[in-house]
């Protein structure tokens, strides 16, 4: 336990000093600042206004950029250390592979989740200060969704990092995973369905196993409980599940998926050549 916490602590310190972390924090913090400057809180679109409108915009942008940020910054965690022979040296000390791997996972989770979460907290504090009503239900939903989205992509990134030998290959696979999942949200699926006359149940099932799709639908479900603007997958969900059940699924499923990927990654890390 002592060594696990040590690895978490050292990974956190290393990440916080890294340039990618500064850019990562600036992007999400900057987004919120930009929304305030642009007067998003004053505008009204489809009945959403104030902080609700701001958080909605934030989450819609986050769904695109958060996964790729997590993938490209995390995927080199183990493969990069392997490339640069850091792993060879650091593992010459009596640290178990589990302590090293999970220490890296937890340390990296804190570094990727905190800036995204703190940007929302900043928005809430600043919005309250300006006299806006705080939409706590949306804030808590988005915290849960961001937590589970971070988990799934972190898990995928560690899995990729464990299976490939070079960090360049890991980066390439990350981009592919991101593009693939982005393409398989229902908007793209509709065109695929129309073009190829594929079975609609299959299309919907594909969309539902995509954590990005679940995140997208759940993120807007509080605003639009009828899910009328969300496309065919949303209609299907509305027919089959209650909104609260769906939100639960959208949080639990990516979390479990992320943990599974992280465990597979650990299994590969433990059972194949380390360097």
Which of residues 1, 17, 39, 196 is near other proteins by CB under 8 A? 17
Give the ranges where 97-166 is alpha helix by DSSP (H).
97-129, 136-163
Report how far residue 253's alpha carbon sits from residue 248's, in angstroms, rounded to the nearest whole number: 8
In the three-class reduction of DSSP (H, G, I as helix; E, B as strand; rest coil), residue 133 is classed as coil
Which of residues 42, 88, 137, 168 is near other proteins by CB under 8 A? 88
Which of residues 45, 97, 121, 241 is near other proteins by CB under 8 A? 97
Report how far residue 124's alpha carbon sits from residue 145's, in angstroms, rounded to the nearest whole number: 17
Q: Is residue 215 within 8 Å of residue 142, measured between CB atoms?
A: no
Q: What is the widest separation between alpha-carbon atoms in the chain?
A: 60
Which of residues 34, 90, 198, 245 is near other proteins by CB under 8 A? 90
- How far apart are CB 99 and other proteins at their closest, in Å? 9
Cβ closer to other proteins: 87 or 123?
Answer: 87
- How far apart are CB 89 and other proteins at their closest, in Å? 5
Is there binding between residue 128 and other proteins (CB under 8 A)?
Answer: no
Q: How far apart are the first and last CA of the chain?
A: 24
Site for other proteins in 217-256 (CB under 8 A): none
Q: Is residue 85 within 8 Å of residue 167, measured between CB atoms?
A: no
Task: Tell me the two tokens of residue 136.
Answer: 């706590």
In the three-class reduction of DSSP (H, G, I as helix; E, B as strand; rest coil), residue 170 is classed as helix
- How far apart are CB 90 and other proteins at their closest, in Å? 7
Is there binding between residue 22 and other proteins (CB under 8 A)?
Answer: no
- How far apart are CB 101 and other proteins at their closest, in Å? 13
List of residues contacting other proteins (CB under 8 A) = 2-3, 6, 10, 13-14, 17-18, 84-86, 88-97, 271-275
């Amino acid at each position: 336990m002592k060594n696990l916490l040590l690895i978490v602590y050292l990974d956190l310190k290393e990440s916080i000093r890294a340039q990618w972390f500064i850019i990562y924090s600036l992007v999400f913090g900057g987004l919120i600042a930009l929304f305030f400057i642009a007067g998003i809180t004053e505008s009204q679109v489809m009945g959403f206004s104030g902080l609700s409108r701001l958080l909605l915009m934030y989450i819609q942008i986050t769904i695109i950029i958060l996964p790729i940020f997590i993938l490209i910054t995390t995927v080199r965690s183990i493969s990069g250390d392997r490339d640069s022979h850091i792993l060879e040296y650091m593992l010459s000390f009596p640290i178990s592979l589990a302590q090293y791997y999970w220490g890296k996972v937890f340390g990296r989770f804190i570094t990727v989740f905190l800036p995204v979460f703190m940007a929302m907290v900043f928005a809430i504090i600043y919005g309250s200060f300006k006299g806006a009503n705080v939409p706590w239900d949306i804030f808590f939903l988005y915290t849960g969704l961001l937590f589970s989205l971070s988990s799934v992509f972190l898990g995928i990134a560690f899995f990729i990092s464990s299976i490939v030998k070079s960090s360049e290959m890991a980066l390439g696979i990350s981009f592919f995973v991101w593009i693939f999942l982005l393409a398989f949200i229902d908007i793209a699926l509709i065109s695929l369905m129309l073009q190829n006359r594929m079975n609609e149940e299959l299309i919907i099932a594909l969309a539902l196993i995509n954590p990005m799709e679940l995140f997208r639908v759940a993120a807007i479900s509080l605003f639009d409980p009828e899910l009328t603007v969300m496309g065919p997958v949303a209609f299907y969900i509305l027919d089959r599940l209650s909104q609260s059940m769906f939100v639960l699924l959208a949080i639990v499923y990516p979390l479990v998926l992320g943990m599974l990927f992280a465990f597979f990654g650990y299994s590969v890390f433990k059972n194949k050549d380390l360097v």
